[in-house]
Amino acid sequence: MLTVSNLKKNFGPLQAVKGISFEVAKGEVLGFLGPNGAGKSTTMRMITGFIPPTSGTAVVCGHDIGAAPVEAKRCIGYLPENAPSYNTMTVTEFLTFIGRVRGFTGKALAEKVESAIAKSRLDNVRRQTIETLSKGYRQRTCFAQAILHDPQVLIMDEPTDGLDPNQKYVVRQMIKEMAADKAIIVSTHILEEVDAVCTRALVIAGGRIVANGTPAELRAQDPQGRLDVVFRNLTLTEEVTNHG
């Protein structure tokens, strides 16, 4: 459902992403792991068409994001880091607005909004303005806008960052419930996210992929099976290579 081919991104003399390729199939939840500054968010923004790649491409449900951006974006739900929303709108008003932007009207629009509210556990705050919500509920509201059109590919950048343990649990449950019929990417630097929701993990450091495997395969790289040790060994080696 998603094929990423040799994506590269330069910002002036800085090469932030250095040729990343991977695939995500229906039913997979891919953990996109890496330290801050590794190139995770830049890669997400290229896949979703927010910024153009220097070279390479992403194909979403058969549509090249560069050659057919509108068709590709119809298949994508995107939850960016620090997702924007309109603070003075209520939750229902905001999701209705998003639905209209997506081209829904009438009964279809109402059904999409109700479904997104139910899946995101927002019913008890649906009439509140977004500015009055806790961070957890604001994150769920932005999650709801990402899934409103029932996309085949769901891409989330740091979806649980800054949330308390209870809020993280709810967001992770929402991801699990939708995983069967979607291809999902969860970009994160929180290692516990891998065990919590991911079927496969891809580790990026210095703009390159340094590991790609199931959580069990990654753990097997350390005698004690400690994911934090494996992560540190993979990413520190790459950082030393790039900056040494």
What one-character-per-residue DSSP string does the chain give?
Answer: -EEEEEEEEEETTEEEEEEEEEEE-TT-EEEEE--TTSSHHHHHHHHTTSS--SEEEEEETTEETTTSHHHHHHTEEEE-TT----TTSBHHHHHHHHHHHTT--HHHHHHHHHHHHHHTT-GGGTTSBGGGS-HHHHHHHHHHHHHTT--SEEEEESTTTT--HHHHHHHHHHHHHHGGGSEEEEEES-THHHHHH-SEEEEEETTEEEEEE-HHHHHTTSTT--HHHHHHHHHHHHHHHHH-
Question: 41-50, 52-61, 161-170: which has the minimum mean pLDDT?
Answer: 161-170
Same domain, 47 and 105: no
Same domain, 128 and 158: no
Same domain, 71 and 15: yes
Same domain, 212 and 223: yes
238, pLDDT greater than 60:
no
Same domain, 182 and 226: yes
159, pLDDT greater than 90:
no
- Residue 189 is predicted with a pLDDT of 80
Same domain, 89 and 112: yes
Same domain, 66 and 156: yes
- Residue 98 is predicted with a pLDDT of 95
- Residue 237 is predicted with a pLDDT of 62
Mean pLDDT score across all residues of the chain: 91
- Residue 141 is predicted with a pLDDT of 93
Same domain, 137 and 186: no
Examine the fold and report which residue of 150, 178, 201 is the final residue of a domain before the chain moves on. Answer: 150
Same domain, 178 and 227: yes
- Residue 243 is predicted with a pLDDT of 47
Examine the fold and report which residue of 150, 167, 182 is the final residue of a domain before the chain moves on. Answer: 150
Same domain, 58 and 167: yes
How many domains does the chain fold into?
Answer: 2
Same domain, 164 and 235: yes
* CATH code for the domain of 15: 3.40.50.300
Average of per-residue pLDDT across 43-54: 93
240, pLDDT greater than 50:
no
176, pLDDT greater than 60:
yes
Average of per-residue pLDDT across 53-77: 95
Average of per-residue pLDDT across 12-23: 95
- Residue 81 is predicted with a pLDDT of 79
Average of per-residue pLDDT across 110-132: 95
Q: What range defines the domain where residue 238 resides?
A: 2-75+152-243
Same domain, 164 and 63: yes
112, pLDDT greater than 80:
yes
85, pLDDT greater than 90:
no
Examine the fold and report which residue of 101, 134, 150 is the final residue of a domain before the chain moves on. Answer: 150
